[in-house]
Amino acid sequence: MITKTRFAVAASYAMSILVTVLIASSVGAQVRLASCAEVPSSTVNASRHRTIMRTDCDREQAIALASAKAGENAASALGSVCRTSISIAEASSACRTHGLTAVLAQPSGGLNGDVFRVPGSPRVDFALPISPSQTVHLCVVVRNLAADFELTTQEDNMCPMDGGRRTIVRAGVRARCGVQCF
């Protein structure tokens, strides 16, 4: 097992990869990157839990891939709930709580990595964009679940740079609806 701190660092690494890809894909375009603000449970009282397993010769890469893929699966499972449950007024309120404005009609270039949680809720590890509703650009906030994290290694001659060891990671996350904000 690894510590919660190392798990959080790996999730941050996965998020930085996602942000880098999003920035690179929008080079030259006049779009802004948005933040993600979690909506309160009084707006959408739903979440999705997903666990996934990944292997890689590189330990940190295995952790990052497992966390990121579990987050993508949870976001996909929660997307339709978010799209049908969040009104313009609720989106605006979630953003206004943090001094921001909801992304409505204008396109967003993706997320900038800033994530705002509901006051008093647990720390958010990263956020992912989901397809927008008709009126609001949405996202999900993702929390890594330390209780659903497992790391093992096994001998693998195909991993000579890593001491002949392959890392196997099982990572679990929980996602909740959010709103993209400027």
CA 129/CA 173 separation, integer angstroms = 16
Buried b vs exposed e over 26-39: b needs ≥16 C-beta within 10 Å?
beeeeeebbbbbbb
Sorting pLDDT into bands at 50, 70 and 90, what band is 4?
very low
Q: What is the pLDDT of residue 30?
A: 63
Q: Is 18 helix (H, G, I), strand (E, B) or coil?
A: helix
On whether the CB atoms of residues 90 and 43 are closer than 8 A, the answer is yes
Q: 74-83 pLDDT, tens per residue?
A: 999 999 999 9
Per residue in 18-70, pLDDT (tens digit) is 444 444 444 445 678 999 999 999 999 999 999 999 999 999 999 999 999 99
The Cα 114–Cα 129 span in angstroms is: 12
Per-residue pLDDT tens for 129-147? 998 777 899 999 999 999 9
Q: Where are the domains of the chain?
A: 4-181
Judge whether 71 and 128 are in contact, CB under 8 Å: yes
